[in-house]
Amino acid sequence: MSSSNLLFDRQLFSEVLFEKMKSVSAGLRELELYEFRYCLTELVPATGWDSISPDSCQEIEACINSRTFYESISMKPTQGNGIVLDPEIVRLSQMLFVGLVTGLYSPDWVEANFYFDIRCFFFLHRTIYFTDKVLAHFNGKPYRSFKPKQKLLEACQQVGYKAFQEANAEVDQLFISSAQKLVTGRGTPILLALAGATAAGKTEIVERLGAAFMKAGRKTTSIEMDNFFTDRDYREARGYDSLGKEALHFELLLRALDDITHGKKISTPRYNFIDGSSSHNLDGSLKPGRLPVNVEPADIIFIEGNFPFLLKEIIHFIGLKVVYLTDDAVRLKRKWKRDIDYRKKYDLNYLRNRYFREQFIMAQTVIVPQMEVCDMIVDTTGAALWATPEIAGILDQD
């Protein structure tokens, strides 16, 4: 049967697609054909696969590398009483499915440009984090690297913290010992900023690094930039998407950093991740019935978040700038486990739309720019520690 005829037979189409997709997504090898068909149901065109006209590879590449495309994705499109998948996400996956079955797109081209998440059951663009400018900042190579054990997680539909920590053990330990050496050399009090996208593992590594410092007799504390978010509905209504100071109680943040680096106790807002609300009003006052976060002064003050040293008003407070990097595909597996299974934080389609939209925007506007100026990158997926020449020189000293 010719490839074009496959488009008219839904059963045969899904069978051929299933075999093609196994080479694109390792996790699909664990499914049976009937399970794959269950997942595919949502994306089957009402008018048939033959109604899909795939764009060329060049047109698709231009689209997925355009911020305008991602900004067009709605996080809460509705149909009836519920949120549905954005039509552009549906269309992209339908084109890729048809292109794979007909041979218009090779599996190698699809895998080079996309990764496929089984629980989302659609394609997401692969982000290039190590741009030429980032590589130049670190003299083109990591300070040290290990076997990338996160590859063992590729077939998983979700990833819990235990498996994540085990995969990162070597690079995490090197980072912890390196940070201890750098802090000893630079003196305290010191503000250590750890940047990273959602579900990269920032909170967990800060806890472990804090434990190591405390074991060495250092007093530590932590400030979460996420706690300075204004209400989620307010941010989304104005298109802030948590990408800059407009999304924060910014004056409260500046005051807090200035006070704690001068040895003063501070009180910060408290953000509720379940309902997306802040403990504080926009004018900085505490809402009735809400409690702030009280933070005592310490030798090492961690500040973690998506963009702690992207903002020029904050940089002068920071003594050590680190990006904790985990690839998009692994972060999404973590979000399924953490935010859906455990926290029950999101509507399923809201998560799907939001992650598809934000991974590209966050990388381009927040993560990569910080990688271009940071002191160190902990690349958990690549199992490598990157350090600037200055930092590498300090680490190599006896």
Q: Identify the residue whose tokens are 């090492």.
A: 300
Whether 250 maps to a domain, the answer reads: no
Q: Classify residue 249: in a domain, yes or no.
A: no
Domain-terminating residue out of 77, 101, 125: 125
Whole-angstrom Cα distance, residue 265 to residue 294?
A: 7
Backbone angles phi, psi at 344, to 5 degrees: 50, 50
- The number of folded domains in the chain is 2
| Residue at 238 is within a domain | no
Pairing of strands 122-125, 114-117: antiparallel
CA atoms of 180 and 176, how far apart (whole Å): 6
Nearest to 33 by CA among 49, 20, 47, 43: 20
Do 113 and 166 lie in a common domain?
Answer: no
Q: Identify whether residues 119 and 153 lie together within a single domain.
A: no
Residues 93, 205, single domain; the answer is no
End-to-end CA distance of the chain: 69
Tokens matching residue 238: 């104005």
Q: Is residue 183 part of a domain?
A: yes
Q: Of 211, 202, 224, nearest to 269 (Cα)? A: 224
Q: Which amino acid appears at position 345 of this protein?
A: K
* 302 and 182 assigned to the same domain: yes
> Do the strands 82-83 and 78-79 form a parallel or antiparallel pair, or are they unpaired?
antiparallel
Share of the chain above pLDDT 90, in %: 86
d(CA 245, CA 220): 26
Beta bridge partners of 377: 323, 386
Number of C-beta neighbours around residue 298 at 10 A: 20
Residue 85 domain flag: yes
Question: Of the candidates 353, 351, 322, 321, which has an alpha carbon nearest to the alpha carbon of residue 337?
Answer: 351
Of 108, 125, 142, which residue constitutes the final position of a domain?
125
The radius of gyration of the chain's CA atoms, rounded to the nearest angstrom, is 23
| Positions of the chain with pLDDT under 50 | none
Q: Which amino acid is at 85?
A: L
Residue 176 to residues 172, 271, 331, 388: CA-CA distances in angstroms?
A: 6, 28, 21, 17
Strand positions, DSSP E, 166-212:
190-195
Domain identity same for 302 and 205: yes
204 with 328, same domain: the answer is yes
Same domain, 73 and 101: yes
358 and 314 fall within a common domain: yes
Residue 93 within any structural domain of the chain: yes
CA distance 240 to 199: 20
304 and 214 fall within a common domain: yes
Residues 88, 10 share a domain: yes
Q: What letters, b where the CB count within 10 A reaches 16 and e where it falls short, cover 63-87?
A: ebeeeebbeebbbebeeeeebbbbe
- Cα 57 to Cα 63, 105, 115, 162: the distances in Å are 10, 7, 16, 39
Distances (CA, A) of 246 to 212, 235, 372: 35, 8, 23
Residue 279, in any domain of the structure: no
* Domain end point (choices 96, 125, 154): 125
Residue 311 has a pLDDT of 85
Residue 82 lies in a domain: yes
What per-residue confidence (pLDDT) applies to 1? 52
* pLDDT on residue 292: 96
Kindly state whether residues 60 and 197 are assigned to the same domain. no
Decide: pTM greater than 0.85: yes
CATH number at residue 349: 3.40.50
- Measured from the Cβ of residue 183, the count of other Cβ atoms closer than 10 Å reads 21
Expressed as residue numbers, the domain containing 332 is: 132-219+298-395
Tokens 């998440």 map to which residue?
117
Q: Dump pLDDT digits (tens) for 55-70.
A: 999 999 999 999 999 9
Q: Are residues 119 and 159 in the same domain?
A: no
Answer whether the bond into residue 189 is a cis peptide, omega within 30°. Answer: yes
